Structure 1
Amino acid sequence: MVEIKVIKSPWLAEALALKDGMNLAWNRGYRKVICEVDCRELTKAIVDVGNMRRHAHAEVFLEINELMERSWCIRVAWIHREANFPADWRAGQGAASVDQGLTELINSRPELDLLLLKDRLAVP
C-alpha cells in the first residue's frame, strides 16, 4: 500500500521542492546553479537565516541553507508566477500523480514543449 503524505502548507511544498531540486542538481554534478522560485516569501526566508530558525518549518530551511553552503555557485532567485508556467504545469502533473516520490522528467510531453517554447521566447 502506498502511503500518501499530504502537505497542506504551500510554503512547505515550495521549500521541499527547492530542497529536492538542489539535491538533484548537486548529485548530478552541477556546480553553477540558479534556482528560480515564484514564492517571494521563500526567497526572503532563505536569506534571513536568523528568522528562519523560528519558522514552523525551520528544519527544511536549515537543510536548504546547508545545501547552499556547499562548495558550489548557487543562487535562489525570485521570478514572477507568470514566468513559471512550465514548472507550474509540471507541479500540477506531479500533484495529480499517485506516485509520491521524486520523478525526473527525461523526455518532455508536447504540452510541456509548448510551454517551454513560450518561456524561451518570452511569449505571454
Structure 2
Amino acid sequence: MDSTAAIDIALKCLDDDHRHGILARQIQVLLNRDWEVRISHVYREANFAADFLANRGHLVDFGTHRFNVCDPELGRWLLYDIMGIAHDRSIISLMS
C-alpha cells in the first residue's frame, strides 16, 4: 500500500470494522505513549530497505516473523539508503 494511505489509516482510522482498523488502533496506542514519534511519508525510491521488506512479506505466511540474521540483499539496500543512493524504478505499462 502507498505509505500516504498507510499514514492516513494509522492516524485517522477509528473504525475497528475497517480491514486495518485493529492494526490502526494498536498503532494509535503506541503513538499515545510518553515518547516522541515522527511519522512522515518517504517515497519508496528513497527507502529501498522498507520496499524490500514489504515485497518479501508476500513470500511468507501471515503473522509476525523474526530473523536472527540480516538477509544479505537487505543489508545492501540498507547501505544504499544510509548513503542516500537513489535508484530509478522501471514500471512496465500494460497500456499501448
Into which bin does the TM-score normalised by the smaller protein fall? 0.5 to 0.7
Whether 1:60 and 2:23 are equivalent positions in the alignment is yes
Deviation at 1:47, TM superposition (A): 4.0
Structure 2 regions of 5+ residues with no counterpart?
87-96
Q: What is the DSSP-based 3-state SS (H/G/I as helix, E as strand, rest coil) of the residue aligned with 1:77?
A: coil
How has the CA–CA distance of structure 1 residues 92 and 44 changed in structure 2, closer, same or farther, with 3 Å as cutoff? closer
Task: Give the TM-score normalised by the residue count of structure 2.
Answer: 0.66
C-alpha RMSD of matched pairs (Å): 2.3
Gaps of 5+ in 1: 1-9, 11-37
- The counterpart of 1:121, out of the listed 80, 83, 89, is 83
Alignment of 1:39 with 2:6, yes or no, is no
Partner of 1:90: 53
Amino acid in structure 2 at the alignment position of 1:42: A
Q: CA deviation at 1:45?
A: 4.1
Alpha-carbon distance in 1 for matches of 2:74, 2:8? 29
Report the TM-score, using the length of structure 1 for normalisation. Answer: 0.54
The alpha carbon displacement at 1:107 in A equals 1.8
How many angstroms apart in 2 are the aligned matches of 1:107 and 1:42? 28
Write 1 or 2 for the structure with the bigger share of strand: 1
Q: CA deviation at 1:105?
A: 3.2
Rg larger in structure: 2
Are the counterparts in 1 of residues 10 and 24 from structure 2 also a CA contact under 8 Å? yes
When residues 65 and 112 of structure 1 are mapped into structure 2, their CA distance, relative to the original with a 3 A threshold, is: same
Q: Partner of 2:74: helix, strand, or coil?
A: helix
Distance 1:96 1:53, change over 3 A: same
Q: Does 1:105 align with 2:67?
A: yes
